């Protein structure tokens, strides 16, 4: 039977996918960087329809994102990068009744400097969301993979740092590990330097037909990105590089899905092979960031995987499993995320009909803060054409030293917002991106006296996106037309980065017990 698959399978800020199949259900995890909760877990039974099940990192006491800041860096390609720290590429695996997620928390402490914390999270009941405390293990690098060999020995292989200022910047090293304690059971051993030897990252090991296959991402995560593979008869090598590497790249092509790489191979219930890979859509400014794509995989007669270039849609005569209807069960509030470590006492939340009602206590620092908590609650932008709206009670804290509003947030260096200043009574549009020189502000007085009931006055805020721009607007009553206050193109917010756009509400100001009320916060898809 022919089945049509639509890509991306996980749209909008969903990079570095890793996947595992357990009892007919696929579980997929992606990077989350500076967002809490983090390490989102998506599920599917048919590879077509995916549901957000929860997050492996869902308790603030599990670890800290306080120092998950963003840095502007000059790449060796001559391009600029805004590198956001936090939770980097994770791997999800299953062994003897237990799910494992291994990951790196990359932080930049203001006095202790850059630090990499590699850890393991586990659960025996993934649907419950009850994940363990992290088990930390020493590893000088990022992107850890977990592989259980036939004798039960667990191996970590990851991207071991050599020198991030030049190439080769890293190599693949492996260590046997006690997954219960994080203790090393062997010395770190270099098992492959990669094929192109350029940012060799994201390793995964698989055992197929007596061979151990080592898949890596190389070339950096942008235009030169590619997948390379090697194999060995021993889990610890030596690994033989495939003579036809790379096995996947969109470099120097006109494909709509670009920057493809960082993937995970897997076999389905019917013995068919697939890969989930990272990519971006060929739209100006890559507006949705890096997303997760599904591609079929075939094996050559001499035992090498051939990975197909991702397409927006493809039709296959393959079995795909039980058709999913899990979209109906997805809880809307699972999509809600914070920036770094939230302070729970500053949030009151309820939801009905996919619209959130929120009370926020302002934080002293706002969206431009590089570290620490910011009072912000948002959702990923999942489609090119989207509309985020909210009603702000504009008079409940009149003359307070508070600003609050609706934002499109990528990181503390790049965002656009429409804000109400309770003290001045003005609405303000602000957009910033130091990489492109963007710094734009516009203001408009808010004529609350035109509203009949001054004590219950509200202002509706809206951010409307297209493939190439964002329009920020307001209105005083639902019966009125929207008035545009600000406009930016996707290109103005663009710089090579790791994250993606988040629509969210926020509040900043004096911590005096004041709260700001938002009603009907929703993000709608109009693709």
Q: Residue 517: what pLDDT?
A: 94
- The reply to whether 301 belongs to the active site is no
In terms of C-beta density within 10 A (0-12 exposed, 13-18 middle, 19 or more buried), how is residue 187 classed?
A: exposed
Which distant-in-sequence residues (6+ apart) come within 8 Å of 133 by Cβ?
61, 62
Task: Say whether 201 is catalytic.
Answer: yes
CB-CB neighbours of 140 under 10 Å: 14
**Identified catalytic residue from 143, 201, 264, 497:** 201
Residue 119 C-beta-side C-alpha neighbours within 13 Å: 23
Q: Which residues contact 76 (CB under 8 A, 6 or more apart)?
A: 166, 167
| Closest to 156 in 3D by CA, of 98, 236, 221 | 236
pLDDT, tens only, 382-432:
999 999 999 999 765 666 889 999 999 999 999 999 999 998 889 999 999
* Mean pLDDT of all residues belonging to the chain: 93
User: Looking at residue 329, what is its pLDDT?
Assistant: 46
Exposure string for 95-117, b = 16+ CB within 10 A, e = fewer: eeeebbbbbbbbbbeeeeeeebb
3-state secondary structure of 371: coil
In contact, 341 and 372? CB cutoff 8 Å: yes
Give the mean pLDDT per block of 10 residues along the chain (527 residues): 90 98 97 98 96 96 95 94 97 98 95 93 97 98 98 98 95 98 98 98 97 98 98 97 98 97 96 97 97 97 96 86 56 89 94 83 96 96 98 76 96 98 93 96 79 69 97 89 96 97 96 87 91
pLDDT at residue 318, rounded to an integer: 80
Fold held by 336-525: Jelly Rolls (2.60.120)
Measured CA to CA, the distance from residue 490 to residue 468 in angstroms comes to 5
Fold equal for 3-316 and 336-525: no
Q: What number of residues does the chain have?
A: 527
In the chain, where are the structural domains located? 3-316, 336-525
- Measured over the CA atoms of residue 261, residue 263, residue 269 and residue 270, the dihedral's sign is positive
* Class at the top of the CATH hierarchy for domain 3-316: mainly beta
CA 143 to chain centre: 14
């Amino acid at each position: 039977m022919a089945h049509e698959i639509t890509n991306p399978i996980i749209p909008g800020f969903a990079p570095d996918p890793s996947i595992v199949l357990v009892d007919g259900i696929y579980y997929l995890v992606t990077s989350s960087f500076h967002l809490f909760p983090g390490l989102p877990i998506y599920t599917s039974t048919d590879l077509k329809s995916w549901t957000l099940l929860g997050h492996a990192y869902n308790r603030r006491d599990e670890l800290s994102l306080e120092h998950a800041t963003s840095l502007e860096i000059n790449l060796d390609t001559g391009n600029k990068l805004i590198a956001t720290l936090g939770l980097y590429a994770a791997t999800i695996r299953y062994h003897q009744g237990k799910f494992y997620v291994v990951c790196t928390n990359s932080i930049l402490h203001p006095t202790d400097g850059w630090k990499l914390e590699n850890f393991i999270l586990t659960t025996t009941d993934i649907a419950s969301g009850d994940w363990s405390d992290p088990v930390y293990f020493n590893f000088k690098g990022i992107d850890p993979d977990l592989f259980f060999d036939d004798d039960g020995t667990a191996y970590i292989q990851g991207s071991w740092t050599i020198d991030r200022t030049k190439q080769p910047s890293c190599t693949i090293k492996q260590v046997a590990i006690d997954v219960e304690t994080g203790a090393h059971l062997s010395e770190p051993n270099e098992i492959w330097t990669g094929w192109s030897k350029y940012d060799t990252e994201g390793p995964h090991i698989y055992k197929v037909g007596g061979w151990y296959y080592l898949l890596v991402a190389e070339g950096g995560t942008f235009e030169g990105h590619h997948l390379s593979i090697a194999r060995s008869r021993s889990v610890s090598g030596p690994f033989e590089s495939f003579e036809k590497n790379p096995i996947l790249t969109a470099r120097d092509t006109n494909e709509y899905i670009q920057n493809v790489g960082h993937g995970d191979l897997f076999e389905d219930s019917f013995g068919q092979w697939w890969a989930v890979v990272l990519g971006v859509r060929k739209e100006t400014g890559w507006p949705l960031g890096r997303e997760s794509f599904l591609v079929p995989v075939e094996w050559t007669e001499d035992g090498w995987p051939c990975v197909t270039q991702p397409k927006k849609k493809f039709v296959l005569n393959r079995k795909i499993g039980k058709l999913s209807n899990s979209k109906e069960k997805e809880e809307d509030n699972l999509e809600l995320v914070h920036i770094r470590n939230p302070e729970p006492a500053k949030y009151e939340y309820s939801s009905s009909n996919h619209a959130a009602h929120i009370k926020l206590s302002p934080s002293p620092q706002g969206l431009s803060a590089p570290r620490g908590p910011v009072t912000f609650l948002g959702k990923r932008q999942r489609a090119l054409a989207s509309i985020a709206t909210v009603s702000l009670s504009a008079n409940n804290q009149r003359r307070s030293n508070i600003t609050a509003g609706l934002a499109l947030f990528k990181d503390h260096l790049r965002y656009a917002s429409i804000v109400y200043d309770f003290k001045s009574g003005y609405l303000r549009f602000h957009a910033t991106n130091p990489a492109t020189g963007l710094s734009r502000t516009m203001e408009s007085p808010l004529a609350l006296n035109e509203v009949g009931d001054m004590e219950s006055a509200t202002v509706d805020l809206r951010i409307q996106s297209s493939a190439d721009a964002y329009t920020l607007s307001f209105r005083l009553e639902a019966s009125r037309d929207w008035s545009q206050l600000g406009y930016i193109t996707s290109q103005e917010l663009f710089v090579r980065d790791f994250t993606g756009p988040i629509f969210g509400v926020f509040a900043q100001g004096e911590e005096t017990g004041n709260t700001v009320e938002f009603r009907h916060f929703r993000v709608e898809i109009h693709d």
